[in-house]
Amino acid sequence: MRISIRSGLVIGWRQLFESLLSPGFYVMLSVGLALGSLLVAGFTGSIDSSGFEPQASPLYDLISRSLSGAFGATFVEKLFAEGPFLFALVAAFLPVSVYLAIASVFRFAQEKNAGAVELLVYGPADGTSYILAAFLKDLILSAGSLALIAAAFAVEAALTNLLLGPLFLWALAALFLLSASFFAYGLLCSIVVVSSSSAIALFLGISLVFSLVFAGSFTIVSAPVRTLSSTAAALLSWISPFFYAGMIFRGVQAGSQGAVLAGLLLLAFLSALLVLAGRLIIDAKGVRA
Amino acid sequence: MRKAFAAVLLLAAPLALARADVPVRTEQLIYSVIAFNGRDYTPTFAPESSSAVYLLAGADSFISLRKTLVYFWPLTGRLQTDTQTLNEQLDGTLEVRDRRGKVLRSISLQRYTFFNVRGEYEQNWKVAVDADAEKEYQRYLSLYRSFMKSIDDYTRANTEYLAKLKEMSDRIESLKASGKDVRALQEKMSSVPRPRQPDEPADYVVPPAPLQQAFVVNLPPGRYRVRLINPDGSVMEGSDKRIICTTPRRSGSVGYQVLPSDKWTRPEESKTPSAVIYVNGSADLYVSVFYQDELNDLAYQKTLDNAARGNPNVFSWVRIQQVPHASLQMSGADGMASVLQERPFTVQQSQGSSLGYTIIPYDPLGGQKSPDLMAFRVPVSTGTRLIRLSARDNGGKPLPESGRQIRIVSPEVPSLVFALLAIIPLAAMIVVLAMRRRYSRQGTTSRAE
């Protein structure tokens, strides 16, 4: 096990270097930052003598109308209560995390198909090392991205006299662990299916289902609906990273440190469980495609 | 002319076939609800299609079961009742059961009224039932009659006063015309006492509603099943519903209402305890402090309106009432603190072509009987960057979750800096790729050598 971890670290380090040498990561990070900066600039343009007035900016008018229509005015009020940075953080980090997850899924499945992983395991490394390497590489890159986004937002906050806010700081931790869970899901997808395109399709499908279930739980309704689909969604939510992210959000809103901590720990636990599941599957199936 | 008239008639003939789109009315057994929402009472109704009635736990709300006509009104997209055509209240007992069917309460119909008595602030709702309700309503009627009588007396006295003034004025004019001294008469005229307009009864903010019969429901938090038991002991068909009684998740937190001096009609509320009040600093702020409770968004919206939509996974802060005799500690970015006191203010519409309002301190000796708002004036300018507020109660004790920041956002957004921040990763990419090319060239050269 110790050898697997050590090999994983070495391979992960090499993979990290390779990722930093390709332009994709930088481009997605720039896209994310541009999106975030646009949202911050739009927010400052929506401030008048009475406070935040979404109608003053066409961008925020559109955002607030869309979000209010789906999730209600209370949700929007809470989302922007501390300023624009919570929403901007999600918007800025989303392209980066999606890119990292898909790149890992594609790469792992492709290398497995090409027999590169099989070649590697003739040495001291094994399948677990390779999973761990990809996972660690994604963790480091997502932590770096979040740090850079947070630093850029801190500069923007200082320039505009906005506040990052306590929810923003919680969101940094939650987004990091949330992305970790999705990276783990991505790796699991690339382990269980044969081709890289199938792995990406499976990963995107799972992510979409989780996103829809999560969005559904925050959608405004006229009555509490108890149907088969909502029961299925309730069952599915336990394996959804969004469920635990929602727990953190609700915990912060309720001022419950316990719920926040539980949400963070459960997210980390889910990621660990998925990596473990990947390891068990790869041990049983082998690394041959 | 005749031809033109005939042509118009011919063109208008198809309109005779057009009819108004009358909504289809169906007779339904509805739950008519007057629910206490934490702040005041709001009427709503639950039609047959609605499975639940939402109430606030621990507060008196009024439910009556009625047969009425219900129709869908497409303009608002809502169900409406036609109580003018049919409004039959059903007699009986409201049976409240728990989830297992055990009868918890049997509530009989009671005559009731509810009213808000005048206090310094808005939250003074009272409920009276049966004899007390009758007594309260009679008291209100007596006050009202007495006020109306004093209005009549005032009108009569005022007419006499004006007639007397006119008579004296005419006499003065005629004396003036004949060149006589009118000073004595003028003095007498100015000393004629003007009748005083009677004040409205100050006892009630909202007077007692006319007495009605309903089931006065006050339940602890939980989910219940209810149905109407007819006077003969049978169960009224279609009367089964759920009552969902909610209670605030958190109570006694403090929210702020912020009124900029240039937008008196558009107040903003800062309810979330971690919220920041962002303004552009172009106008002073008038701030009032209120207590708020945190309720489930869906349950609260449905308490206000049974047909409303809400978010079941989000809790919203609901303003309850202004904090009585609060004080506000204000400190700037330098940490210098000062204590603000609540003051009465009057809002005056700007005269002339300029639009807007001016908020000035209330003058009790001026023409206005009562101030328009009680608030703390927080001076704000574009030079200010940060103001910290925290509210204290009557005894000077800090109120929970009352800390807020007012931040004056810089109006000139440095777009270039924002753009530079966004292209940092691209710049890093160029550097990395250039270094990579350089190293790979060096490697190729050294291998060639």
Contact B41/B232 with Cβ under 8 angstroms? no
The conformation of residue B137, written as its DSSP 8-state character, comes to H
Identify all chain A residues contacting B52, using CB atoms and an 8 Å cutoff.
223
C-alpha A98 chain-centroid distance: 7
Contact B242/B225 with Cβ under 8 angstroms? yes
Distance CA A138, CA A20 (A): 11
- Give the pLDDT score at A234: 75
pLDDT-derived band at B352, boundaries 50, 70, 90: low
pLDDT tens, position by position, B107-162: 999 999 999 887 666 668 889 999 999 999 999 999 999 999 999 999 999 999 99
Are B274 and A161 a contacting pair at CB < 8 A?
no
pLDDT tens, position by position, B394-417: 888 889 889 999 999 976 767 788
Are A167 and B410 a contacting pair at CB < 8 A?
no
Contact B51/A223 with Cβ under 8 angstroms? yes
Identify all chain A residues contacting B49, using CB atoms and an 8 Å cutoff.
none
Average pLDDT value for residue range B41-55:
94
- Give the pLDDT score at A279: 85
Query: What is the domain partition of chain A in residue ranges?
Result: 2-285
- pLDDT above 90 as % of chain B: 47
Residue-wise burial string across A92-127, b where 16 or more C-beta atoms lie within 10 A, e elsewhere: bbbbbbbbbbbbbbbbbbbbbbeeebeebbeeebbb
With a CB cutoff of 8 Å and minimum separation 6, the contacts of A26 are B425, B426, B428, B429, B432
pLDDT tens, position by position, A160-207: 999 998 889 999 999 999 999 999 999 999 888 878 889 999 999 999
Indicate which of A49, A67, A76 best probes the interface with B, i.e. most B CBs within 10 Å of its own CB. Answer: A49
**pLDDT lower than 50: segments of chain A:** none
To the nearest 10 degrees (0 to 180), the angle between helices A196-217 and A166-192 is 140
How far away is chain A from the Cα of B266, in angstroms, using its nearest Cα?
Answer: 8
Contact B48/B69 with Cβ under 8 angstroms? no
Average pLDDT of the residues of chain B: 87
Computed on alpha carbons and rounded to an integer, the radius of gyration of chain A in Å comes to: 20
In chain A, which residue's Cα lies nearest the Cα of B426?
A26
In chain B, which residue's Cα lies nearest the Cα of A160?
B410
B51 has a chain A CB within 8 A of its CB? yes
Average pLDDT value for residue range B35-46:
91
Are A250 and B313 a contacting pair at CB < 8 A?
yes
Are A161 and B407 a contacting pair at CB < 8 A?
yes
- Give the pLDDT score at B123: 67
Residue B191 scores a pLDDT above 70: yes
B165 has a chain A CB within 8 A of its CB? no
Residue B434 scores a pLDDT above 70: yes
